[in-house]
Homo-oligomer: A and B are copies of this chain.
Amino acid sequence: MNVLIVHAHPESKSFNGAMTAVAHRTLSTQGHTVTVSDLYRDGFKAVSDRGNFTGEVDPEFLKLQAEERFAAHNNGFSDELEQEISRLEAADLVIFQFPLWWFGFPAIMKGWVDRTFAAGRIYGGSPPYEGGRFRGRRALLSLTTGAPAEVYEADGMHGDLMGILRPIHRGILSFVGYDVLAPQVLCGAARVGEKAREDALEAWADRLTGIMNEAPIEIGRY
């Protein structure tokens, strides 16, 4: 199995870094091929623009989707972007490891999606959702939050975490056909203490050992 871990955290020694290291080690030990796209380390460019393309781009009016479709048929993506698209295409399982910032991805991870999920390559050749290109493959979000777990309950201050994640689960992952696995979450990562963080790393390793047999979750609309 090919596994892609997309990792977004500005501090490599963070708990998110430890989660990615555990996933890398656990899955490699099981014989899987694991690739890590460490977006901060690699200085991944977050902003989708003309720099996505190597070929000639309409100088008068930039239409990103049209340029993506052209690039898809003419080997026209920048080297950095071609690498990420190829990694995505090769992956049977994609893990997004990130801290939840303002109820969503850090910008660098949103930019990875904006740029890598290119028209004509990752979507657009078939209907979305059930007809999506990655049907039968798996994706999951592994995240930390700053606030404690109780505020993400349905009646908590912020509201149900699954609702907060739904635009990502549905509008990004389900859209291109992935079976979505339950998110891996450590709430209040900076305040739960060292023991709880160690337990969370161990639970993550345990879960990954059986990840290919897990049933996907249902992602409702809204």
Contact = CB atoms under 8 A, between A and B. Distances in A.
A10 B114 CA distance: 13
Contacts of A158: 170-171, 221
Interface in A138-169: 146, 154, 157-160, 162-164, 166-168
A13 interface: yes
A83 interface: no
A103 B167 contact: yes
A102 B158 CA distance: 22
Copies of this subunit:
2
B128 A48 contact: no
Interface of A: 10-11, 13-14, 40, 46-50, 61-65, 101-108, 110-111, 113-114, 117, 128-129, 146, 154, 157-160, 162-164, 166-168, 170-172, 175, 190, 221-222
Contacts of A61: 11, 13-14
Contacts of A154: 221-222
Of all A-B residue pairs in the complex, the 7 with the closest CB atoms, nearest first, are: A163-B222, A103-B171, A159-B221, A107-B111, A103-B167, A46-B46, A107-B110
- Interface majority SS (helix, strand, loop, mixed), chain A: loop
A108 B49 CA distance: 11
B102 A114 contact: yes
B107 A107 contact: yes
A103 B170 contact: yes
A110 B103 contact: no
A106 B48 contact: yes
B164 A222 contact: yes
A171 B159 CA distance: 10
